[in-house]
Amino acid sequence: MKSEEGLLRAIGPVGLALSVVNVTVGGSIFVLPAVLARDLGTAAPTAYLSGAAVMALVALAFAEAGRRTTVSGGPYAYVERAFGQFPGYLAGLLTWLATIVACGAVGAALVDSLATMVPTLHHPVPRAVTVAVIFGVLALVNVRGVRAGTALASAAGVAKFIGLVLFVLLAARFVQPGHLAWTVPAGGSDLGRATVLVIFALAGMEIPLCAGGEIRDPARTVPRALAAATLLVVLLYVTIQLIAQGVLGPALAGSSAPLADALAGLGPAGRGLILAIGAISMVGFLGGDILGQSRVLFAFARDGLLPRRLAAVHPTTRAPHVAVVVNAVVAAALAMSGSFTLLAPVASIAIVLLYIATCVAAWVVTRREPRRAGALPGATALLAIPGLTWVLVHSTSQEFFAVVVALAAGAVLYAVTTRLAPAVPV
């Protein structure tokens, strides 16, 4: 079945849930246990609980907005529906900015991990060629259609989930019960900084939802998929933290590769397993990112905010093929240059601001449809905002300034584009 945008509605609850798991479970899980141990010691699991509480409330807001939206764009479409085109455009800009930087970062990290086995990849030319091949293949998969893109994301999501469960089972034999003490954080500031990291590690649900025009029966699919994915990811992360802590104990805080160190008892095979799981996780993340990000460009072009060519839909696969290719090229360029690392703080703040905007937008649309079947009370969508604000408090003024500059530049582009080519209602 095609959507009103000419796209194919092929994403069901299982495919969407696996896509969310695939994008959320990225490279951070392979280093996060050690970082949290340095910040909180044996109280580290508490950060997952506080972060999960905030993200669960964010997921409710996304579910309420997503179940009412049948077009592509994700947060762009949600905020536009609530407040109009310009605020929606800024939300879409935040979405694309945060995810394209993350996509470039993960692409670079993937090549760095491969370079541990193939040292030649440390040199500029082989590195650039490898990046181009990786993004080229992922773009080709997504150009073949949403079914192919979702199948890749789903397969990667299943593979990485199974791989991390295998890590838990193998490492459990090395756990020392005395290392499993779970304490309470000594102060709120340390917990706040640690929760910032957990929020970003759990972020990602907005990316698959950008393909809203290709989700089958959004009113049922979106809430079910987000609930299942959030629960699975939180349980997995907490279990991995406890296993790493149980194996390494006080040494966890000083580890640069905690999951690999936790399997050191298996010898080279253990480190090889973690490297393979990490590579699968990053490839899956990149494929899911390209699938979701390209729909933001497609939605902008559909509404006349970018060149109309980006809204082209392939006559056979029904995929927005031009947007897919352009998005992959930009991400590959960031991964090759490495300069994107300077934008990482911008991505962090951008995603939190985006979540706040989506919560408010969800509240607005639920107030407009108070009797819609299955809808939550409108105020539910606002419950995540205090927690998200708490996260922002632990950020710096420089990071906020960078976001303001990016939004100002986007506002100028919006003014120029709409003046030269006014949006055509869809």
Which candidate, 293, 389, 361, places its Cα nearest to that of 62? 361
Neighbours of 400 (CB within 10 A): 15
pLDDT at 340: 41
pLDDT at 329: 93
**For 13-420, which CATH superfamily applies?**
Amino acid/polyamine transporter I (1.20.1740.10)
The H or E element containing residue 269 is helix 268-302
pLDDT at 188: 62
Q: In sequence order, which residues have a C-beta less than 8 Å from that of residue 99 and are 6 or more positions away?
A: 206, 207, 289, 292, 293, 347
pLDDT at 7: 62
Q: Which of left, alpha, beta for 249 (phi over 0: left; psi -120 to 50: alpha)? A: left
Which one-letter amino acid corresponds to residue 5?
E
pLDDT tens per residue, the chain (426 residues)? Answer: 545 556 666 677 787 787 777 777 766 777 788 888 888 888 888 888 888 888 888 888 877 777 766 666 678 788 888 888 899 888 888 888 888 877 887 788 788 778 877 888 888 899 999 999 999 999 998 888 777 877 887 787 778 778 888 889 999 989 988 888 777 766 666 777 777 778 777 877 777 776 666 777 777 777 788 888 888 888 888 899 999 999 988 888 887 678 888 888 788 888 788 888 888 888 888 887 788 778 888 888 888 887 888 888 888 888 888 999 998 999 899 888 864 445 555 677 788 888 898 888 888 887 776 555 455 555 667 888 888 888 778 777 777 787 888 888 888 888 887 776 544 444
394 close to 196: Cβ distance less than 8 angstroms: yes
Cα separation, 382 vs 94, in Å, equals 20
366 close to 375: Cβ distance less than 8 angstroms: yes
What is the pTM for the complete model shown? Answer: 0.73
The token duo for 238 is 């907490």
Determine what percent of the chain falls in helix, strand and coil, rounding each to the nearest 5: 80, 0, 20
pLDDT at 424: 44
